[in-house]
Chain A
Amino acid sequence: MELTKEKKKKMLFDMMFIRRFEEEAGKMYGLRKIGGFCHLYNGQEAVAVGTVAAMDLTKDYILTGYRDHGFAIACGMDPKAVMAELFGKVTGSSRGKGGSMHLFDEQKHFLGGNGIVGAQIPIATGVAFAQHYNETGGATAVFFGDGAIHQGAFHESLNMAKIWNLPVIYACENNQFGMGTNFKRVSSVEEFSIMGASYGIQGRKVDGMDVLEVYKAFSEALDSARHGLPVLLDIRTYRYKGHSMSDPQKYRTKEEVESYRKHDPILIFQDRLMADKVIKESDVADYENQIESLVAEVVAFAESSPEPALPTLFEDVYADAYPLASLRQGGF
């Protein structure tokens, strides 16, 4: 399917917005408005946006790990609810109970936001199992990092996806570092795409800094998955920021990060769209202005939202009210 000009503009806007949202999240973290583990998506925007552009989220699903802000926004989650969740506010998408790593929106078919490395891979395989079971025609894309690909959960999932012909795309978002470890130090192979071969699954390497390349690769992978042939993608990307906010990044040089910034996915796409006369230079400035006011609105919403009331901590444990007297009178 050829992308329309309008859709390309929307993709650029979303990438720019995600970048700016993450910069703001980093700033708010520095101000201690956000705590805990906070994994930023700067540099990887083309992956989320290119993927979502290819998918039909009325029937398809997306899951990712804990570096999930970019996907949450790309899937169409309300950025106010996302920022409020990072702030731990009751207006957050998980009512302040999930935080940065646990963003979900069942309406937008975004199933998290999963904190244990690689554990989302069997879950996604189960979502694809349900799509197959119910014959919905939908497919599921699951993202995980180059650290997660060595988990047993990945290998067990590929095997079952293949024997049951599940509509699933396994997408390794290879940003080249599992926390502080260069992926080449801990992998028996450097080309992850060949790992699918052990399970009879087609693998493919994708340039994750080029949003149109990601879109194309996903469109083709979806076509395969919808026909019961799962796919493995090794998407090469790069994160500009540390693993999480507490990462001093001693494992790589500033020069290396700078060299990747020259291949910035947003700049590449802007240049392409200008060359193709889809946008003008002034459009970029317009987007920046719109994004500035949107981000200000998002932060103001998070700031002004109330904290969750203490009794809400017993809500959402079970479908019914938490059985307070079951452990001890009056609970603990």
Chain B
Amino acid sequence: MAIITYREALNRALDEEMARDPSVFLMGEEVAEYDGAYKVSKGLLAKYGPKRVIDTPITELGFTGIGVGAAQVGLRPVIEWMTHNFALLALDQVVNNAAKMRYMSGGRFKMPIVFRGPNGPAEFLAAQHSQSFASYWAHIPGLKVVAPAFPADAYGLLKSAIRDDDPVVVLEAEMLYGTSGEVPDEETLVPIGKANVLRTGSDVTLISFSKPVRYCLEAAAELDKEGISAEVIDMRSLRPLDMARVYQSIEKTNRAVVVDEAWPLASVGSHIAYAISHDRFDLLDAPVELVASHDVPMPYNHQLELEVQPGVKKIISAVKRVLYLE
């Protein structure tokens, strides 16, 4: 098994899928000659040429819609948004067209399109460039949404997304592009809609996705030193949610802490917390905790921006609350 970066894992997925299927093409700002704003598409122009790796003008609404039209007649576009912050300009095409085309035509069309790019709080980027839009996409029936935290999942989920006949939004964690991890040498698909148990435990279940998953693992290691055994679940897919796997864990631990770096109101995390409370009410020994970002725009100052987001300390504190230790 090779150790590669999250960025390289995404690149490998794109490369393999483009080699496999000539109907797959990549379109976005700076994806071709610049090799990608975050270098995810590095080398693809040289390998597949300008017909399939296409630089666009800065027109998120327009080129996202072009992807929708191309998918409606059978191509498999991968639309790269330089970041999800800029994808707000394309919301109409994703929400009103990509997500609904199958439904409002009574099943006449499939919509095999991938929308991908970096999402979530980064560093020193302030309010407009450092925020999580997971719930924006996860809210919409007709979309699928994945949020990998590790190179192997980034690789396997992007491959599954490209082969899927429904529109899939891929939330790549901006802060994780340079992180490394093992990725199988042989071709592997990670199924959409399946959570992954990263660590087993018996006292509490930590549930998260994307970057904060890593904080959950760190918190679990810290808690272990205090004799607290935490199970860590990486949801990986936000739509559909693998709630069955979460419940299996709650049945063992009876306590849950959900960690989501988005704002708390109407977030994926708040929904997961609600679903656990509703579906496993009788099994819970404490109210489900939600660790979210503070309900403010992201400040530029580093101390302040770290204070906004979920971190190891906040997770440990939430665990202690559900264990009635704090």
Contacts and interface: CB of A to CB of B under 8 A. Distances in A.
Interface string A56-68: 0000010000000
From A102, A115, A326, A329, name the one whose CB has the most chain B CB atoms within 10 angstroms: A326
Given A160-B62, A327-B275, A126 B72 contact: yes
A61 B307 CA distance: 53
B65 A126 contact: yes
Contact of B108 (A105, A152, A159): A105
B104 interface: yes
A327 B93 CA distance: 24
A104 B105 contact: yes
Contacts of B102: 316-319
Contacts of A93: 105-106
Question: Which size bracket describes the interface of B in this complex?
Answer: 35 or more
B275 A95 contact: no
B70 to A, nearest CB: 4
Nearest to B238: A326
Contacts of B59: 152, 156, 159-160
B166 interface: yes
Nearest to B112: A319
Given A156-B59, A326-B243, A327-B275, A125 B106 contact: no
A152 B61 contact: yes
A94 to B, nearest CB: 4
Interface in A298-332: 315-319, 323, 325-329
Given A316-B106, A326-B241, A116 B66 contact: no
A122 interface: yes
A76 interface: no
B109 A106 contact: yes
B320 interface: no
Interface string A140-167: 0000000000001100110110011000
Interface string A87-120: 0000011111110001011100001111110010
B142 A318 contact: yes
B165 to A, nearest CB: 4
Contacts of A133: 25, 51, 70, 75
Contacts of B69: 111, 122-130
B278 A106 contact: no
B96 A119 contact: yes
Interface string B191-212: 0010000000000000000000
A153 B97 contact: no
From A102, A133, A164, A328, name the one whose CB has the most chain B CB atoms within 10 angstroms: A133
B299 interface: no
A121 interface: yes
B65 A153 contact: yes
B33 interface: no
Nearest to A164: B54
Contact of A318 (B72, B166, B271): B166
A-B interface, 10 closest residue pairs, ranked by CB to CB distance from nearest: A126-B69, A122-B65, A156-B62, A95-B106, A326-B240, A94-B106, A126-B66, A123-B69, A156-B59, A316-B107
Given A104-B109, A131-B73, A326-B240, 17 more contacts: A98-B104, A102-B105, A104-B105, A111-B69, A122-B63, A122-B66, A123-B72, A125-B66, A127-B72, A133-B70, A157-B62, A160-B63, A315-B107, A316-B103, A316-B106, A328-B274, A329-B243
Interface of B: 25, 51, 54, 56-57, 59, 61-75, 77, 92-93, 96-97, 102-110, 141-142, 144, 164-166, 193, 239-244, 271, 274-275, 278-279
Interface of A: 61, 92-98, 102, 104-106, 111-116, 119, 121-131, 133-134, 152-153, 156-157, 159-160, 163-164, 315-319, 323, 325-329
26 contacts: A94-B105, A95-B106, A104-B108, A106-B109, A111-B73, A114-B97, A121-B65, A122-B62, A125-B65, A129-B69, A131-B73, A134-B75, A152-B59, A153-B61, A156-B63, A157-B65, A157-B66, A159-B62, A160-B63, A316-B105, A316-B107, A318-B142, A319-B102, A323-B193, A328-B274, A328-B278
